[in-house]
Amino acid sequence: MTHTNYRLVKTLLLLFLGIWLVFTLFPLYFMIVTSLKPVEEINRMIPTFWPQTMKVNNYAGIFADPGSLKSLVDSVIVSVTNTALSLFLGTLAGYALARWIRGVIGENLAFWILSNRMFPPVAVIIPMFFLFDSMPWGTDSYFSLIVLYLVFNLPLATWLMMVFFRDAPRELEEAAYLDGYTPFRAFFKVTLPLVFPGMISVAMLCWIFAWNEYLFANLLTGTTVKTFPVHIPTFTLGSQTLWNLVMAFSLVAMLPPVILFIILRRYMVRGLSLGVVKG
Amino acid sequence: MARLELDQVCKGFDRPILDRLSLTVEEGEFFVIVGPSGIGKTTLLRCIAGLEVLDAGRIIFGNKDVTRVPPYRRNAAMTFESYALYPHMTVFENIASPLRARKVDRATIEKSVMDVARLLRIEQLLDRRPHEVSGGQKQRTALGRTLVAKPDVFLLDEPISHLDAKIRHELRRQFHTLQELRRVATVYVTHDYAEALSLGDRIGVMGDGGLVQVGSARDVFERPSTVFVARHLGQPTINEIPCRLSNAGGQLTAQSAAGGFSFAVGGPQRALLENTQGDVLIGIRPQHLRVVNGSSTGQVAEALVEAFEALGATGVLIAETGGVALTVLTSPEDDFEPGQPVRLALDVDQFLYFDPAHGRNLQG
């Protein structure tokens, strides 16, 4: 490629990226702007792209409302517990599938586990409701959501952890056996640290799913337990929607995933297997 | 400290790898197993270490039957061909790992690791991680991890095969001098015959199914039990010439199948082969052929040069006589042109005779 050609391609690429950035970031921008407007300004026919009157007290309103705060707490309880369970069970199951259950049985079992994620959730929504309704803890409880989200997160966690464990060299475990570690101790001393970055990624994926889930949460819970995606629609009143509060609350709910992702990013991309084999 | 005993060990995957293999390695002995790639050398080590479950047979350390003992209770130490260093631990932690597994106290660990590191000259690397050190240093770390464990049996799987020639020689010298290795039974696996001949108190040549020949370096090199052993030991490779023996008037003659190359069988082999008629496979090591000028007392063959390689310390000549291409070891100062006629002196006493059907050495 000639020099001019290269510059042309680079310019076009930057142009494309610019357009793409505007396309993806504009909704976010508009959310932020809307969260700072008073309701009257939002309802104008010609929208304003910069608030004429800044109203920071939308945020104050969110934090003053006990319902909003409780929904965030509920979301934290459900998502964190579910993530912990998914990660714990998924890691053990993934290890078993990667190391001990081999051949045709292992392959089919692994595929079956993953296939649990393939059906559209709407297909089971009504059976799920009746199933949970017949349980002693009922539909409207932390437990029901935590267990229900396992249906979606556990296959994902199991499958991903299985892949990470398969990539972790078996020889390292064998070296640990020869050092005198029992399989149980070798797993914690050698194998688990190797897949640690993978566990962080899996935890993030599970947690974001549980944090954002709306469909089942809306169907099963809403009174005793109310996660934030279920709480957002309550800003819709009979006559109008309080978009400023919706946006302010959504932005608050977005913060934890964004912050966590920024903190954990470096684990999610790091491959610890570097330097295991001879160079 | 113990001797290592293998009794009728069998192991196979989709095909048999080890077939009723029996072997005793004495306490303090350095036993080298040499053989081509993929023949099952590593499988044998893994069986001894307990990483593979035997199909049949017994493994005994000292006087304890460990056949059913899991690897973490066997007290065998093994270096892996890939080194298998823990990437998330420092060199120090890697070496300390067997002691930590045994819950040794901190001060003792510190001291033992430092001793081993000093011995292997890696004490300046202890804080680094495996991916920050060179191949030779990784190998020393892996070796350190096995030395520190004070095991009953040392198992070394191609420990230096993948290193540069210079480091390989340095480490080879170190294997000679490491007293730690001389106190227990050591099994060392390699595909490099020079490594085997140099290091082994005894050498086992591995072929299909198990050990084809076990003996000292001299034994296996000079008196190979089969043509497989002869072929595998020695560089350049031994010349193999299918011949026919005929006894005409008290004169035992070997003639190549194509007919162009023949010599009178002499030396100690003569008496032995006196009654043998028919086909034999003759093995001639390249150093048992010499290029001579003018007349020679022994038997000679006229040949034409095909190619010549000067390899620094030696020269390798390929010469053709009567339809047979012979590899001859010469000196590097020689200079041969392709097509040039040469006279080869045959060191007939040193020739090896094999059964063409099974490859068995007819003299042994």
Domains of chain B: 4-232 (3.40.50.300), 239-354 (2.40.50.140)
**In-domain check, residue A27:** yes
Q: Would you call A275 and B86 a contact, using CB atoms and an 8 Å cutoff?
A: no
ipTM field: 0.82
Q: Would you call B101 and A179 a contact, using CB atoms and an 8 Å cutoff?
A: yes
B76 vs A178, A193, A276: nearest CB: A178
In this structure, are A195 and A99 located in the same domain?
Answer: yes
Q: Which of B45, B48, B72 to mutate to test the interface with A (most CBs of A within 10 A)?
A: B72
**In-domain check, residue A112:** yes
Contacts of B144 in chain A (CB under 8 A): none
Residues of chain A short of pLDDT 70, as ranges, are: 1-2, 268-279
**In-domain check, residue A72:** yes
Any CB–CB contact under 8 A between A182 and chain B? yes
In this structure, are A25 and A69 located in the same domain?
Answer: no
In this structure, are A92 and A206 located in the same domain?
Answer: yes
pLDDT of residue B183: 78
**In-domain check, residue A95:** yes
State the count of interchain CB pairs (< 8 A) between A and B.
Answer: 87
Task: Determine the distance in angstroms separating the CA of B150 from the nearest CA of chain A, rounded to an integer.
Answer: 11
**pLDDT higher at B181 or B31:** B31
pTM of the model: 0.80
A190 vs B74, B78, B86: nearest CB: B86
In this structure, are A162 and A31 located in the same domain?
Answer: no
In this structure, are A21 and A72 located in the same domain?
Answer: no
In this structure, are A98 and A179 located in the same domain?
Answer: yes
pLDDT of residue A269: 63
CA distances from residue A134 to A82, A141, A223, A232, B332 in whole angstroms, order as listed:
21, 13, 18, 28, 92
B60-77 burial, b for 16+ CB within 10 Å, e for fewer?
bbbeeebbeeebbebbbb
Any idea what the CATH number is for the domain that residue A87 is in? Answer: 1.10.3720.10
When pLDDT is cut at 50, 70 and 90, the band that residue B207 belongs to is confident
Q: Would you call B149 and A179 a contact, using CB atoms and an 8 Å cutoff?
A: yes
Contacts of B76 in chain A (CB under 8 A): 178
Contacts of B101 in chain A (CB under 8 A): 176, 179-181, 185
Strand spans (E) along B106-167: 153-157
Any CB–CB contact under 8 A between A89 and chain B? no
**In-domain check, residue A13:** yes
pLDDT of residue A272: 41
pLDDT of residue A236: 85
Long-range contacts of A98-103 (CB under 8 A, 24+ apart): A98/A161, A98/A162, A98/A163, A98/A165, A98/A166, A99/A165, A99/A170, A99/A173
pLDDT of residue A52: 81
In this structure, are A256 and A165 located in the same domain?
Answer: yes
Q: Determine the Cα–Cα distance for residues B179 and B200; give it in Å rounded to an integer.
A: 15
When pLDDT is cut at 50, 70 and 90, the band that residue B198 belongs to is confident
Bridge partners for B215 per DSSP = B203
**In-domain check, residue A51:** no
DSSP state of A99: I
- List the single residue in A with minimal CA-CA distance to B136: A278
Task: Determine the distance in angstroms separating the CA of A109 from the nearest CA of chain B, rounded to an integer.
Answer: 24
Nearest to B300 by CA among B345, B262, B266: B345
In this structure, are A255 and A147 located in the same domain?
Answer: yes
In this structure, are A102 and A210 located in the same domain?
Answer: yes
- List the single residue in B with minimal CA-CA distance to A174: B51
**In-domain check, residue A134:** yes
In this structure, are A19 and A92 located in the same domain?
Answer: no
Sheet holding B4-12, edge to edge: B16-25, B4-12, B56-61, B64-65
**pLDDT higher at B171 or B56:** B56
pLDDT of residue A22: 94
pLDDT of residue B359: 85
Contacts of A188 in chain B (CB under 8 A): none
> Whole-number mean pLDDT of chain B?
87
Q: Would you call B138 and A177 a contact, using CB atoms and an 8 Å cutoff?
A: no
Task: Determine the distance in angstroms separating the CA of A175 from the nearest CA of chain B, rounded to an integer.
Answer: 7
Q: Would you call A179 and B84 a contact, using CB atoms and an 8 Å cutoff?
A: no
**In-domain check, residue A14:** yes
Contacts of A277 in chain B (CB under 8 A): 82-83
Any CB–CB contact under 8 A between A185 and chain B? yes
Task: Determine the distance in angstroms separating the CA of B55 from the nearest CA of chain A, rounded to an integer.
Answer: 19
pLDDT at B293 over 50: yes
Q: Would you call A277 and B50 a contact, using CB atoms and an 8 Å cutoff?
A: no
Domain that holds residue A196: 64-234+245-269
In this structure, are A230 and A112 located in the same domain?
Answer: yes
Strand spans (E) along chain A: none
Contacts of A183 in chain B (CB under 8 A): 72
Contacts of A169 in chain B (CB under 8 A): 82, 84
A276 vs B51, B72, B87: nearest CB: B87
Task: Determine the distance in angstroms separating the CA of A279 from the nearest CA of chain B, rounded to an integer.
Answer: 6
CA distances from residue A23 to A35, A42, A270, B2, B263 in whole angstroms, order as listed:
20, 21, 30, 73, 90
When pLDDT is cut at 50, 70 and 90, the band that residue B94 belongs to is very high
- What mean pLDDT do residues B63-86 have? 90
Number of domains forming the structure of chain A: 2
